[in-house]
């Protein structure tokens, strides 16, 4: 029998800790935290593997491929995120392998929605030149206009989409 | 002092990432139910934690610059794109409420054992490739930027940064109070048991026995 999982951190503690980690990242690297850049680099790397001619000639992926696209700060950062998340989940008893979904849908359709959502987010993050971490969080911390415009788009579309997505989660 | 260090090496990335992932997991942001709960007003953790982090980091940057410990204007400021920033943000908001994650939180969901997070990550790789495929056709619109590059709110409004930070703190405080009231009304926020009961390990989910008490709406 496993010990009971420990509760999530209170929001004020989690938010303060996240802010300090973000500040620390700015001080050591000169920029904030990110995530989507890694998936773009991974996509460029995969394209180079599957369709080398297309990838090298592609005007978006081509520049990523002048050196190893995975050997970059954001690549190591994502490795760190996964290890940090794993350590947090295992040490708190919150690790659980499986498919998380709302009570009114099954696991199969959950995976289809996850795939579709991922496609939209992957495309959107290239369009915005960053994601919730890189633009929304890190950009806003520098008081960038881009950060707050991004968040307005993010929350606006999220609330609009929630009208149709209620069945998936609630 | 001569900050930032501009260290973009392996250890810098691993260390920043480790702390980022550890904190996001502690916040509960490896759970798509908790994350999307924001958009059903049942769990305001996304608003509370993001806003708090933005204010703490923004104040810290201001303090380090003001005390002369960090070079002024040294931190990278993203550029506002005319269409890309708001449209990209909207696609991410829509993909988030349908798919349950954003890029960083999907990595934490995956690290917490969620297979749906892994599938979401595959979708992001496909979406990034799709963008690369159409990039030549949309390049002009996608890259159109507002000048000056790296525009900040203090520049835009012509006020000191600390005033913008104070304004954000007031908005965050009020939003926090409203959020705490509203999420309680809807039976939130999600606790760890409710999240873990929503995970199908192969034999279905528990979801409080399939019965959910719906609060009056």
Does residue A9 lie in a domain region? Answer: no
How many angstroms separate the Cα of A146 from the Cα of each of A26, A150, B147, B152, B217?
17, 6, 12, 8, 35
Is B40 close to A114, i.e. CB distance below 8 A? no
> Per the structure, how many domains does chain A have?
2
Q: How many helices (H) and strands (E) does chain A have?
A: 7, 1
Q: Which residue of B has its CA nearest to A160?
A: B94
Euclidean distance between CA atoms B16 and A22, whole angstroms: 8
Question: Helices A11-29 and B10-27 sit at what angle, rounded to 10 degrees?
Answer: 170
Cβ neighbours of A118 in B, within 8 Å: 95, 99, 101, 106, 119-127
- Does A129 contact chain B (CB < 8 Å)? yes
Q: Which residue of B has its CA nearest to A151?
A: B89
Can you give the residue range of the structural domain that contains A168? 100-170
Is A128 close to B88, i.e. CB distance below 8 A? yes
pLDDT at residue A2 in the model: 61
Domain boundary among the residues A97, A131, A156 is at A97
pLDDT at residue A3 in the model: 74
CB A124 within 8 A of CB B131: no
Residues A148, A161 within the same domain:
yes
- b/e string for A142-168 if b means 16 or more Cβ within 10 A? bbbbbbbbbbebbbebbeebbeebeeb
Does residue A165 lie in a domain region? Answer: yes
Residues A106, A66 within the same domain:
no
Residues A93, A105 within the same domain:
no
Domain boundary among the residues A76, A97, A118 is at A97
Q: What is the mean pLDDT of chain B?
A: 94
Is A82 close to B78, i.e. CB distance below 8 A? no
Does residue A10 lie in a domain region? Answer: no
Place B206 in a pLDDT band, splitting at 50, 70 and 90. Answer: confident
Domain boundary among the residues A51, A69, A97 is at A97
- Does B178 contact chain A (CB < 8 Å)? no
Cβ neighbours of B61 in A, within 8 Å: 23, 26, 141-142
Of A113, A115, A152, the CB nearest to B86: A152
Cβ within 8 Å of residue B70, ≥6 positions away? A27, B1, B3, B4, B61, B64
Placement of tokens 């290890």 in the chain:
A83
Does residue A2 lie in a domain region? Answer: no
Does residue A4 lie in a domain region? Answer: no
Model ipTM value: 0.97
Q: What is the DSSP letter of A31?
A: S
- Kindly report, residue by residue over A35-74, the tens digit of the pLDDT: 999 999 999 999 999 999 999 999 999 999 999 999 999 9
Cβ neighbours of A47 in B, within 8 Å: 129, 132
- Kindly report, residue by residue over B38-59, the tens digit of the pLDDT: 999 999 999 999 999 999 999 9
The yes-or-no verdict on residue A86 having pLDDT over 60 is: yes
- Kindly report, residue by residue over B165-179, the tens digit of the pLDDT: 999 999 999 999 999
pLDDT at residue B211 in the model: 47
Residues A80, A149 within the same domain:
no
Residues A141, A168 within the same domain:
yes
How close, in Å, is residue B68 to chain A by CA atoms?
Answer: 13
- Does A116 contact chain B (CB < 8 Å)? yes
Cβ neighbours of A101 in B, within 8 Å: 32-33, 116, 198, 200, 205
Does residue A114 lie in a domain region? Answer: yes
CB A25 within 8 A of CB B5: no
Residues A73, A111 within the same domain:
no
């Amino acid at each position: 029998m496993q010990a009971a999982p420990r509760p999530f951190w209170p929001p004020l503690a989690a938010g303060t800790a996240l802010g300090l980690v973000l500040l620390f990242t700015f001080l050591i690297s000169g920029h904030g935290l990110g995530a989507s850049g890694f998936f773009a680099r991974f996509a460029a790397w995969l394209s180079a593997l599957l369709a080398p001619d297309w990838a090298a000639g592609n005007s978006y992926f081509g520049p990523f491929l002048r050196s190893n696209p995975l050997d970059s700060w954001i690549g190591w950062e994502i490795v760190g995120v996964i290890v940090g998340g794993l350590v947090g989940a295992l040490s708190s008893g919150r690790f659980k392998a499986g498919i998380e979904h709302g009570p009114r849908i099954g696991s199969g359709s959950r995976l289809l929605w996850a795939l579709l959502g991922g496609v939209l987010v992957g495309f959107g993050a290239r369009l915005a030149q960053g994601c919730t971490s890189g633009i929304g969080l890190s950009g806003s911390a520098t008081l960038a206009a881009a950060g707050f415009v991004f968040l307005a788009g993010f929350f606006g579309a999220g609330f609009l989409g929630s009208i149709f997505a209620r069945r998936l989660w609630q | 002092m001569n900050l930032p260090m501009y260290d973009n090496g392996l250890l810098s990335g691993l260390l920043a990432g480790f702390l980022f992932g550890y904190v996001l997991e502690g916040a509960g942001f490896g759970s798509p139910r908790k994350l999307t709960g924001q958009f059903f007003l049942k769990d305001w953790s996304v608003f509370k934690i993001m806003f708090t982090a933005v204010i703490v980091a923004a104040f810290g940057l201001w303090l380090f610059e003001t005390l002369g410990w960090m070079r002024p204007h040294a931190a990278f400021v993203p550029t506002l794109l005319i269409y890309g920033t708001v449209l990209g943000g909207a696609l991410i908001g829509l993909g988030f409420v349908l798919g349950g994650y954003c890029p960083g939180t999907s990595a934490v969901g995956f690290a917490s054992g969620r297979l749906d997070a892994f599938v979401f990550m595959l979708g992001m790789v496909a979406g990034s490739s799709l963008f690369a495929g159409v990039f030549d056709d949309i390049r002009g619109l996608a890259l159109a930027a507002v000048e000056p590059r790296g525009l900040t709110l203090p520049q835009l409004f012509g006020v000191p940064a600390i005033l913008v930070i104070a304004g954000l703190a007031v908005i965050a405080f009020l939003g926090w109070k409203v959020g705490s009231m509203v999420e309680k009304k809807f039976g939130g926020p999600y606790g760890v048991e409710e999240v873990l009961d929503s995970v199908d390990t192969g034999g279905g989910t528990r979801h409080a026995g399939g019965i959910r008490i719906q609060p009056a709406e």
